[in-house]
Amino acid sequence: MTETVVEFARAEDAQAAVKQFASTIGALLTLVEQETSLVRAGRVRQATLLEPQKSDLASAYMKASVRLSANRQALTRHVPNELRILADLHRELQARLKTNMTVLATAHAVSEDIIRGVSTELQRKASPSTYGASGRTSQPSPRTAQPLAVSRSI
């Protein structure tokens, strides 16, 4: 789907588009910060409830970004100061997204380690305690390990 690029003929049109984009970035900043806080607090289920809103805002962000990029010359001519403000907001969004991604990756790694630990412990308890030819306890073969069923829904 390609949109027809309409250059902003008036400064008011350009200013309104920039204001709308800044509003979208502000809403994304708030939502990403909220998601980050919830995941840090271990409230992952509540964080997942933000996904539809986050997806909608990301879509609006991308559409507005493409529109403004296509009209860069008109924006530079009509609202150069607002473009600097948008650039600052964009940098702030990138920094918060980086933090958000780090927190989400950490939560993923921790939960994966917990599941691996539970699986290892279940396998250890399920295997018989016997001694091998060397006099040491035998470790169960990974091929004979019983699968661990985990519900991926949070």
pLDDT tens sequence across 50-75 = 999 999 999 999 999 999 999 988 89
Q: Which parts of the chain fold into alpha helices (H)?
A: 11-40, 44-48, 51-70, 72-78, 80-126
Residue 25 counted as domain residue:
yes
Is 50 a member of any domain?
A: yes
48 inside domain: yes
Q: Does residue 100 carry a pLDDT above 90?
A: yes
Quick check: is 54 in a domain? yes
- Give the Cα separation of 136 and 120 in Å (integer): 19
Residue 20 lies in a domain: yes
| This prediction's pTM | 0.74
Q: Which residues contact 50 (CB under 8 A, 6 or more apart)?
A: 31, 34, 35, 38
91 — pLDDT class (breaks 50, 70, 90): very high
- At residue 140, the pLDDT reads 64
Query: How many domains does one find in the chain?
Result: 1
Task: Judge whether 67 lies within some domain.
Answer: yes
Q: 5 and 68 in contact (C-beta within 8 Å)?
A: no
pLDDT band, residue 152 (cuts 50/70/90): low
Of 3-12, 14-23, 71-80, the poorest mean pLDDT is in 3-12
Where in the sequence is the domain holding 64, given as residue range(s)?
A: 11-106
In a domain, 138, yes or no: no
Find the mean pLDDT for residues 115-130. Answer: 76
Within a domain: residue 60? yes
The span from the CA of 14 to the CA of 67, in Å, is 11
Write phi, then psi, for 34 (nearest 5 degrees).
-65, -45
Asked if pLDDT for residue 122 goes beyond 90, the answer is no
Instruction: Give pLDDT, residue 17.
Output: 92
